[in-house]
Amino acid sequence: MDDLVLHKLAISGPTLASMIQRLSSSPADVDGLLFGHITRIAPSTLPDDAAQTSPDSHLVATISGFLCFPSLLSFYDSLGRLSSTTHLNHKPLIGWFSSRRKTPLRPSMREFSVTHSLSSTPNLSLPIQDSDSNSLFAPSIFLLFTHSSNRPDHSNQPVSGLPLPSIPTLF
């Protein structure tokens, strides 16, 4: 599972709009879970030279839904360890998100830890669709939303998608 790399993240317009509306109307910082599926697709480029090898297939994560909790620390503790598996039993879980106000657009150490906890829990892995092998994908997608309250309209809300398959070791 360590060498699986996402090449694309897809989300429909209505799902993204619903998520942004929910996050921007929340009175406080919130987080939640992302649901969807992972598909292996063949690349659309063909080599001109027969001697060239065709590129490997690509993994595409498609977000089809989300579950937003009313506050932070909803399924994990202050150290980023999973504290409740009740919410995590929803299938197919592909990752999670956090929405914060007036903060830098970079993951915190707790967010790294939560992502690592999710991706290292074996019973949360899901099969990859259209895959020849029995490959599994661990829920390692993390989306970070942040916005400033200086603008009354939320039309320019920055969004960052951060797949975090490996967590750096800190010394």
pLDDT of residue 6: 86
Report the residue count for the chain.
171
Q: Is residue 101 part of a domain?
A: yes
Domain of residue 106, residue span:
6-42+57-163
CATH of the domain at 25: 3.40.140.10
The pLDDT of residue 114 is above 90: yes
Q: Is residue 93 part of a domain?
A: yes
pLDDT tens column, 141-167: 999 998 765 555 545 555 555 554 444
List pLDDT tens digits, range 9-48. Answer: 999 999 999 999 999 899 999 999 999 999 988 776 666 6
Please report whether residue 170 resides in a domain: no
Burial zone of 156 (CB within 10 Å; 0-12 exposed, 13-18 middle, 19+ buried): exposed
Task: Say how many domains are in the chain.
Answer: 1
What confidence tens digit (pLDDT) does each residue in 50-93 have? Answer: 555 545 678 999 999 999 998 888 889 999 999 866 667 777 99
Inside any domain, residue 80: yes
68: in domain: yes
Q: Is residue 171 domain-resident? A: no
Give the pLDDT of residue 48: 63
3-state secondary structure the chain: CCCCCEEEEEECHHHHHHHHHHHHCCCCCEEEEEEEEEEEECCCCCCCCCCCCCCCCEEEEEEEEEEEECCCCCCECCCCCECCCCHHHCCCEEEEEEEEECCCCCCCHHHHHHHHHHHCCHHHCEECECCCCCCEECCCEEEEEEECCCCCCCCCCCEEEEECCCCCCCC
**Does 51 fall in a domain?**
no
Q: Does a structural domain hold residue 1?
A: no
